[in-house]
Every structure is written in C-alpha cells, then in structure tokens.
Amino acid sequence: MDQTECYDVTIIGGGPAGLFASFYSGLRNLKTKIIEYQPHLGGKIHVYPEKMIWDVGGLKPLSGAQLIEQLTEQGLTFNPTVVLNEKIAKISKREDGVFVLMNSNEEVHYSKTVIVATGSGILNPQKLEIEGAERFEISNLHYTIPSYKQFQDKVVLVSGGRDAAIDIALELEEIAKKVYLIYRKDQLVGHEAQVDKLLNSSVTCLFDTVISTLRSVDNHTISQVELQNNIDNTFKTIDVDEVVINHGFERDASIIQNSDISIELIDDFYIACDNKSASSVEGLYAAGDILYNDSKVHLILGTFQDATNAVNSAKKYLEPDAEATAMVSSHNDVFKERNQALVHSMLKKAEC
C-alpha cells in the first residue's frame, strides 16, 4: 500500500458506523480508506458475538456475529482500502487542507476528509478494582463473553445495570442454574421493556450493591463473592461458579488529545457535531458513539444516520456542486452484478 496516496475519505474505526460510512462513501464515488486498531472489522460487537440484536430496522433478530458478517460484506462493497492492526495516534491538517494521520509507529496516511468512528475508543473494559482480581481472569472472572455455553447449569453473578448487563443476565437465565445481577445504583438503566422483563424473571436483582471481596478455595477460581450494600453497609456472601463484570469500557481520547487541530469536545471526549455530523474542524466528521449532538440516537441504527450524514457532508465539502444526498439504487452497476450473482445462485440451488 502506498502510504503517500491521498484519499477522499479516511474512516478511523471499522465498527458499524465506520463500515456503513465506507459503504455510503463508495456509493458516492469517493476514494475510501478504513483504518482499524483491531485485527478485524466489526468493532464492539465482537464483545458479544452470541447476543441477539433486535434494533436494526427491517432485519429479523440476528446474532452479533451474523451482524458483523453482514455489515462487513456491505462495508466492503466498493472495495475500500482496509488497514488493520493500526492505531491512529495523532491528526493534523496541512495548510493545503490535507489531513495527516499519524499512527503509533509514526507512519502517516493522507486524506482530504476524515470521519472519526472510534466509538468509545480502544476496547479496554473497566476492570474490577479489587486487589488480586486479575488472577481470576484466566478461570471464571469474565469481562467479555465469546460464548454462553460455558455458563450452562452454572451459578452466575453479573455486575452491572445498564443495557448490556441486562441483556447478558436475560440470556444467561435461559441456560444457567441461577443468575444474580447486582448494580451499584437503586434502579436499572436500560430499555424499559428489557428492564421489565428482567425484573419479572427468575434473576435475583440486588441494588445499591457492589462486590467487596472475591474468595477462592484454590486461589485460582472464585468460589464465593462477598457483596456490600452501599446504603446500610451490610454484607452478604453468595456461592458462585462464574462472575461477569459489565461496567462499560475505558474511554480513550488520546487521538484527540494528541492532535494538532482544535476539535470541540463534550465531556473532554465526545466530538461535538452539528446535525450533519460535521465537527468544529472543516473536513472532519464523526459517526457512532464518539459523536455528540442533541439529536444523537445511541443505537446501532443511529450510527447509520451519523455515517450517512458524515459522508454527505464530506462529499459537499469536496465537491460543493454535488447533490446533498445519494439515493441507494438497484441500478448501480455494483448492485446489479451482485443481484445477478444472487439470482444465479438461487436458481442453481433450485435445480439441485
């Protein structure tokens, strides 16, 4: 790959927002590059590959792994350049308006516009702040769940009280022997239907409660968890087989903090954007969880609108006379080729 080549659009982040931005950028005939820190595309969905996702319009419920596969296929429709295993550490802008993106090895990429789609930053889960907890990470202390099978007929404690923790507890209820959910606050924070479902399930919910001590018989596996109530300072001990911590992810704002351009931030992290996903820096846009404005929708489907707005804004920035939006048409040559291939495949199966 020619590092000196200048792209129309460079997307930092290969999750749902970045992948849809790539698709839409190709649709608008923009020369596109995706740069992703992880060794694979898909973003944070890789944290819950077996979780069923219900909130993408027009799609039947599908697993995280299935959604990654479909998003990736769509995102690569127009053959963007894809760079994996690379962290962008710094963004600067030359006098001629070209953005210079420097990675952690001080290698650079050049782009006329940039879409930041880094979500909540590099995926580092917030870990349990108990001395010695790290020794259980190789046995039964979990921050991610690649597969639910390991929890079959087990007693599981889930710590967390937002959407992801609620979903995990409900998924585990179907296969685990017993599920406890604890939360440091007095009520859950999530979609109302899911909260009601959890509160009416067999999951035991303990509020105003945190983990105070992890106990082990063999010093390698957690056998008991001591819980502390924040209100009355009482303690309770339960026997467990598995412990799942879902306290969110550490926010990595280093890409902005290290950059030479002045980007307006909210809470020193989120990129403040207008309703067209444009930041305070001309030619730089955001999409997904990293974007903030008053209309922001924190669902996967919301990232698609962010991405579309960002690409349309980039197109108008590069070509002021261009149409404000693009229509997705089945008459697009790329789509026609894929439709023909799909029809041919279906006919072959019918013959068999």
Q: Which residues are annotated as a binding site for FAD?
A: 36, 44, 48, 88, 123, 289, 330
Selection from 49, 25, 8 nearest residue 311 by Cα: 25
Q: Residues with Cβ < 8 Å from 274, sequence gap 6 or more?
A: 293
d(CA 126, CA 109): 31
Selection from 118, 96, 99 nearest residue 259 by Cα: 99
For Cα atoms 158, 163, 165, give the angle at the middle one, nearest 5 degrees: 10
Selection from 19, 12, 115 nearest residue 67 by Cα: 19
Alpha carbons within 13 A on the beta-carbon side of 71: 27
First to last CA, the chain: 43
Q: Which residue has the tokens 């994996």?
A: 84
Selection from 154, 155, 161 nearest residue 180 by Cα: 155
Selection from 43, 222, 219, 48 nearest residue 128 by Cα: 222
Residues of the binding site: 36, 44, 48, 88, 123, 289, 330
DSSP-H helix ranges across 108-263: 163-173, 192-199, 254-257
Tokens of 308: 């579309």
257 within 8 A of 87, measured Cβ to Cβ: no
Q: DSSP letters of 52-73?
A: EE--STTS--EEHHHHHHHHHH
Reported as type and span, the H/E element at residue 258 is: none
* DSSP bridge pairs for 93: 99
